Structure 1
Amino acid sequence: MLLNVLELLGIAVFAASGALAAVRAKLDVFGVVILALTTALGGGIIRDVLLGVHPPTSLRSWPYLLVAGVTGIVVFWFHPHVAKLRRSVLLLDAVGLGLFVTGGTTTALALGAPPYAACLIGMTTGIGGGAVRDLLLREIPLVLRREIYAVAALAGAVVVALGEWAGLPKGLVALTGASMIIAIRLVALWRKWNAPVARGLDG
């Protein structure tokens, strides 16, 4: 029950980030809701497509669609107030990333994906929606140009895969992987860490 609540909370936070990006891009209410849905559910849909799960889980579970859609509408009308909650949104975003990545990795392993593929699928579950959001806004995906985000997701996915391989309790493995992702993400935000880029490009 608690896990379901946390998952829906993660969906709401991801949807809010997508809706805020859409508002800043001056999209109409339909565009805001579509970007909210895409950001919140896109990673899970990509995961299910890669694993051959049809129709995707998020399209078969109405609470996922309802939470993401309602969040998009709320942000559309109250975006100045939501934007002021930036720190809280970033914290919840880190929690959502941890839950989505560990859940995606566990699902991939349960459906027979090899560990290396499960790690990539788990990472994609966490970052896929945001990447699609940025592409729809004609931007280079944020995870490819700055911030420690995808790296944190991949590290947590590897922990889950190693834990499953070692035969450790699944609950403990998922908790450890999610905690690592959240910790890396929050420390990176606190210390303002960014992934390195190639030097000597100014000229």
Structure 2
Amino acid sequence: MQVALENNIVFVVIEYFAILCWGLSGGLAAIRKGYDIFTIMLCGWLTALGGGLVRDVMLGALPPVGITDKGFVLTTLFSGIIVVVAHPEITKLKWTMTVIDALGLGLFAVNGTAKALAYGSSGMTAVFLGMFTALAGGLIRDIFIGDVPMIIRDKHLYAVPSFIGCILTVLVWRGVHYGWFDMCSEMLLDVLIVIIVVALRLLSVGFNVTLPGAVERHRVYLPSESRYLKRPVIHPHADTVDPGDTTKDEEDKPQDDSRPPQG
């Protein structure tokens, strides 16, 4: 299966911009840690192409595209040079970087999933490999420099949009396989999937949409403690006495007069 977006020059350009942006973000992370220029460029390369490296190694597509595609490699090196010089200005372009990052998230999720399907992977495996393509680069970078991974640190929707994009890509591929869609329809649907991923990511950031956490509970019930819970004694009639209730028997006992009087 050919990835439809690879045949569209507009989205190829956007993909290069996304690689450039991810390289810049990786370099910025290294600069914040105070590392040297080599580590800055290495972090940029890992962020932009690390996900593709993981995907290709798991697919057996060797050598990986992250070290064979000259355009991708040169783009990451160029991003490292840019961030070394212009990191104060780049730091202020937060929303622009977020938009391009979201575009890269959608494009890499679609392309990674489609490549996995082209190599004969099952739908579930393709979804995982598509998510690795979109997310593993930042994960490797954060582990490399000793940070909490962004997919955990960022409370906004990040992994969820890529997951949805991967699932939709598998569904489109099934449609192409069964002859429901032609090449033109596949391209339009892939574009729509990228738009959905980008929209989910930007809406989450813009409106502070997050996933809920664990349910807060203040009372805990454990089966092992049930034997310690006593049921209350209920007397439906005044004349009826519960055999297990000893209160009445204690009241009917005569007072012990054998105690010597006080005083």
Q: TM-score, normalised by structure 1?
A: 0.94
* 2:123 counterpart residue number: 115
Report the Cα distance in structure 2 between the residues aligned to 1:141 and 1:196, rounded to whole angstroms.
19
1:129 aligns with 2:145: no
What amino acid is the match of 2:162?
Answer: A
* 1:186 counterpart residue number: 202
SS at match of 2:102: helix
* 2:39 counterpart residue number: 31
Deviations 1:125-183 (A, max 9, x none): 01110111111121221113422101110001101111111233321231122111101
1:173 aligns with 2:181: no
* 1:154 counterpart residue number: 163
Matches within 5 A, 1:85-100: 85-100=93-108
1:164 aligns with 2:164: no
Report the Cα distance in structure 1 between the residues aligned to 2:79 and 2:101, rounded to whole angstroms.
14
The alpha-carbon distance between structure 1 residues 182 and 61, as it changes in their structure 2 partners (threshold 3 A), is same
* 1:13 counterpart residue number: 21
Report the Cα distance in structure 2 between the residues aligned to 1:140 and 1:51, rounded to whole angstroms.
27
SS at match of 2:210: coil
Query: Is this contact kept in 2: 1:159–1:173, CA < 8 A?
Result: no
Report the Cα distance in structure 2 between the residues aligned to 1:199 and 1:18, rounded to whole angstroms.
35
* 2:148 counterpart residue number: 140
SS at match of 1:166: helix
Q: TM-score, normalised by structure 2?
A: 0.73
What amino acid is the match of 2:86?
Answer: F
* 1:45 counterpart residue number: 53
SS at match of 1:34: helix
SS at match of 1:196: coil
The alpha-carbon distance between structure 1 residues 197 and 137, as it changes in their structure 2 partners (threshold 3 A), is farther
SS at match of 2:51: helix
Correspondent of 1:65 among 69, 73, 88: 73
Deviations 1:74-118 (A, max 9, x none): 101110011111110001100111111101011111111101111
* 2:222 counterpart residue number: none
Report deviation, 1:16.
0.8
Query: Is this contact kept in 2: 1:16–1:36, CA < 8 A?
Result: yes
Higher Cα radius of gyration: 2
The count of aligned residue pairs is 201
Query: Is this contact kept in 2: 1:105–1:160, CA < 8 A?
Result: yes
Report deviation, 1:9.
0.8
Query: Is this contact kept in 2: 1:159–1:176, CA < 8 A?
Result: no
Q: What fraction of aligned residue pairs are identical, expressed as a percent?
A: 33
Aligned-pair Cα RMSD in Å: 1.5
Report deviation, 1:198.
2.9
- Higher share of residues assigned helix: 1
